[in-house]
Amino acid sequence: MESTLSRTVAAPMGRRVTRTAAAPTALHPTALDRLRTELVGLPPLQPLDPVDYAAGHALFEARSDQRSLLTAWLAARLARRAGGPTAVLSIGCGDGSVDAPLAAVLAAHGAVDYLAVEPHAPSGAAFLDRLGALDGVRAELVVGPFEGLAPVRPRDVVLAVHSLYYVADLGAALRHAAELLGPGGELLVLHAPLEPLNALVRELAPGRQQRFSADVLDELNSQGRRTQVERIDAVLDLSPTGDAETDRLLLDFTVQAQVPPALSAAVRAALLGRALPGPGLVLPHPVDAFVVAA
Ligand SMILES: C[S@@+](CC[C@H](N)C(=O)[O-])C[C@H]1O[C@@H](n2cnc3c(N)ncnc32)[C@H](O)[C@@H]1O
């Protein structure tokens, strides 16, 4: 089994090009300790309601370069295999905003059969709108969780972009995804590492067990799969915007919980302890890209 960890350093956004990462992987211990002290005796934080989730998500994506970097990484990866008819499965496609440019890359070279499975029907409808507008792409959607997907014909590419946090059994989902590949196919999984932002999510977010990219790698290794991993470095700018409601939505989405006003200064201090050098509150926002051979 070949399992490698290499590092891709993507160009950061314009003005931050000279920044370097501040320190190792842990959150600033003093700030985190202070936050933990403030959490003692408080009831667990509440999850985001769907309206704030959607608003916070849009603001968050606009302040990170991760999405454009990962889409460019995937487009380059798929361009290598463009040339013939291609069958793709996207697990948890959301609104298709990542899938559409990828389908366009493939369709420039041959017919594309692009299937997606997505439990949130309105997002799935947006996926169909986006991909349906592309020449040479046959787009199809199954509304429901990946776990319930009925057998499909073998896929050249199976893609899961930030969606495997939500499956009930990560190992079973990876096995299922890999088993859908045809000869020469590849499974591409984009998943967050437990870097400072997510360490904070783990402290604060209510409810579910968090699975990060080290868990993905462990599962793939335990299944004996040929896997390569690349780190895509991105940054998230959480500098105050001057609008209290925008800042609240951003902070809540960042930690995936409703942060009570009395706690927000401590949460910001914990983030600041891990910020990149320079003005404002700019944080590392990496994602790991797994390539798993059929
Ligand atoms: C963070 S979003 C990512 C969406 C999309 N891949 C993108 O990058 O824009 C995660 C997606 O996974 C979907 N999801 C949640 N549970 C799922 C499951 N069990 N199977 C497949 N998708 C799921 C959600 O509905 C959501 O659209």
Condensed to tens digits (0 to 9), the pLDDT of residues 97-141 reads 999 999 999 999 899 999 999 999 999 999 999 999 999 999 999
Task: Grade residue 70 by pLDDT with cuts at 50, 70 and 90.
Answer: very high
Report the residue among 114, 163, 169 best suited for mutation to probe ligand 1: largest number of ligand atoms under 8 A from its CB: 163
- Give the amino acid at 156: D
Task: Determine which of 127-136, 196-205, 239-248, 270-279 has the lowest per-residue pLDDT on average.
Answer: 196-205
Decide whether any atom of ligand 1 lies within 6 Å of the 290 Cβ. no
Decide whether any atom of ligand 1 lies within 6 Å of the 123 Cβ. yes
Decide whether any atom of ligand 1 lies within 6 Å of the 100 Cβ. no
Judge whether 3 and 221 are in contact, CB under 8 Å: yes
- Cα(120) to centroid of ligand 1, in Å? 8
Ligand 1, closest atom to CA 146? 20
Mean pLDDT, range 28-45, rounded to an integer: 81
Distances (CA, A) of 153 to 88, 91, 150, 185: 10, 15, 10, 12
Q: Residue 14 pLDDT > 60, yes or no?
A: no
Can you point out the beta strands (E) in 81-180?
Answer: 86-91, 112-118, 137-143, 155-161
- Cα(247) to centroid of ligand 1, in Å? 25
- Cα(279) to centroid of ligand 1, in Å? 34
Residue 119 gets which letter from DSSP? S
Write the pLDDT tens digit of every residue in 201-211.
Answer: 887 877 657 78
Instruction: Report, in this order, helix, strand and coil percent for the chain, each rounded to 5.
Output: 40, 25, 35
Q: How far apart are the first and last CA of the chain?
A: 12
> 125 has which bridge partners?
none
pLDDT at 5: 34
- Cα(94) to centroid of ligand 1, in Å? 5
Write the pLDDT tens digit of every residue in 149-171.
Answer: 999 999 999 999 999 998 999 99
- Cα(282) to centroid of ligand 1, in Å? 26
- Cα(205) to centroid of ligand 1, in Å? 18
Decide whether any atom of ligand 1 lies within 6 Å of the 134 Cβ. no
- Cα(273) to centroid of ligand 1, in Å? 31
Judge whether 182 and 155 are in contact, CB under 8 Å: yes
Identify the residue whose C-alpha is closest to ligand 1 atom 1: 162
Decide whether any atom of ligand 1 lies within 6 Å of the 92 Cβ. yes
Write the pLDDT tens digit of every residue in 209-230.
Answer: 778 999 999 999 999 999 999 9
Decide whether any atom of ligand 1 lies within 6 Å of the 120 Cβ. yes
CB-neighbour burial class of residue 117 (10 A; exposed 0-12, middle 13-18, buried 19+): buried
